[in-house]
Structure 1
Amino acid sequence: MPDNHPMDSTQNGTNTATGLSRFPYGRWLARLTVDGGWLWVLMLLTHELGHGLAAWLTGGEVVSTDLRPGALGHTLVEPNPHPHWVVWGGFLSGCLLPLGAWAAIHRAVPRIAGDLRLLVGFCLLANGAYLAAGGGESLTDTGVLLSLGWPYPVLIAIGLLLAIPGYLLCRRELGLRMTAVRTGGIGWASITVRWLALAIWVAGQAAIAAALAAE
């Protein structure tokens, strides 16, 4: 008869160690790094574009903007007749643009549906954390909102409402990626393509940012 009892601690420890030693850590780190690069660049871009769009819609004039890939950008608006909308525009765009991209594309291109879900989760987490924890510096978006009269507890509550589901979504999607790496569903070829695509994107965005800064 088969033995249905759990293995003893020594046997379990040996198997666990063997399983850990066989996990493709190099491939997992490479995929995690390139995904992190994409998430960071796109999160900052969607947030900063929201400030500029809100300024344009409310009659403001963008004096300067920094869209360098990966940089902590800024958008200076003068005159700025509706600063509340301009500041909130970054958070709204930073969350709604990724969500809209997922809603529009995930059925048509199911291959990247998981990537879009991870982007949505990361943008919710990053924007929510920034809103909730950014009150210590007057030049942050949160600091500007505080100077405009928004109560900090309200901003913290909104930030947490964004960050918590974002964290849960990121955790789910990263778990699925780890499983795919372990089972061979994610290989070096696809990781290499992602790195090349990221390099091309960063170069293109940097060129556009430099052209905007020179105007």
Structure 2
Amino acid sequence: MSRLYQLVFLFSLLCGCWLAMMGVHELGHVLGGLFSGGSISRVVLHPLSISRTDLSVNPVPALVVWAGPVLGVLLPLLFWLAGHLLRMPVVALLQFFAGFCLIANGAYIAGGSVEGIGDCGVMLQTGTPLWVMWGFGLMTVPAGFWLWHRLGSFQDWWRQPEKITRRYALSLFFSVVLLTTLLIFLSPRF
């Protein structure tokens, strides 16, 4: 039974990190839009779509587009550092999430730059050189893996399923189910 709880925990952690990563990334776009005098018309955070922020007025598109991935990595790092300084019991989860966001945002910007996918297309249109986008990925992806590596060996964690209690696994699972449900019902049609 311990292995089942371990799998439920791992599945929930990855799904939760994906949804939360999209949230902080889009929060960056929203804050960038508001800071630059833009007008937000819609934010899509539906779990079955790729998240996006639509602006009806966007006076500084380069700022808005970069605010997503930059705040999308800085905010999780700040959450982790605060958790570390406050010695919160969830600091390892915050560290995993920060690593996840570094890897996801960095791979998105560096990899998407080749085809101009999503935000990368806007970055290229607003004059961001490819080397800047690749540099962002080269800084963030290894940093994310470094944070994960500092958590210890995945193999050691896998060999000790009893470390994940039923309560811990189910709490995370039902938190992700609640978040997913809220996103489905509160998000506009994608």
- One-letter code of the match for 1:189? R
Q: Does 1:32 align with 2:10?
A: yes
Counterpart contact for 1:45–1:69, Cα < 8 Å: no
Given candidates 56, 77, 84, the residue that maps to 1:78 is 56
The Cα offsets for residues 77-131 of structure 1, whole Å up to 9 and x where unpaired, read as 1321101110011012211111122222334352100000000000001000011
Identity value in percent: 30
1:123-164 CA distances to partner (integer Å, 9 max, x unpaired)? 001000011000244451112111111111221012111111
Identify which of 155, 158, 176 aligns with 1:198: 176
In the aligned structure 1, how far is the partner of 2:104 from the partner of 2:29? 16
- 1:167–1:93: structure 2 CA closer, same or farther, 3 Å change rule? same
Per-residue deviation, residues 3-45 of structure 1 (Å, max 9, x unmatched): xxxxxxxxxxxxxxxxxxxxx6544322211110111000011
Letter in 2 for 1:120: A
In 1, Cα distance between the equivalents of 2:37 and 2:71? 18
Larger Rg belongs to: 1
Structure 1 position 169, deviation (Å): 1.7
Aligned-partner SS, 1:111:
coil
Q: CA deviation at 1:168?
A: 2.4
Question: Within 2, Cα distance between the matches of 1:170 and 1:151?
Answer: 29
Report what 1:108 is aligned to.
86
2:45 to 51, 67, 75: 67
Match of 1:158 in 2: 136
Q: Are the aligned partners of 1:41 and 1:70 in contact in 2 as well (CA < 8 Å)?
A: no
Aligned residues: 189
Partners of 1:95 and 1:207 in 2: how far apart?
A: 27
Contact persistence 1:64–1:76 (CA under 8 A): yes
Structure 1 gap segments, 5+ residues each? 1-23
For 1:48-103, what per-residue CA distance to the aligned partner results, in whole angstroms no more than 9, with x for missing partners? 11111110110111122202236311112132110111001101221111112222
SS in 1 for 2:90: helix
Aligned alpha-carbon RMSD (Å): 2.4
Alignment of 1:118-197 (within 5 A): 118-173=96-151, 175=153, 178-179=156-157, 182=160, 184-197=162-175
Q: Is the 8 A contact 1:121 1:169 kept in 2?
A: yes
Q: Partners in 2 of 1:128 and 1:96 — Cα distance?
A: 12
Amino acid of the structure 2 residue aligned with 1:179: W
Any unmatched runs of 5+ in structure 2?
none
TM-score normalised to structure 1 length? 0.78
Q: Alpha carbons of 1:96 and 1:65: their partners in 2 closer, same or farther (altered >3 Å)?
A: same
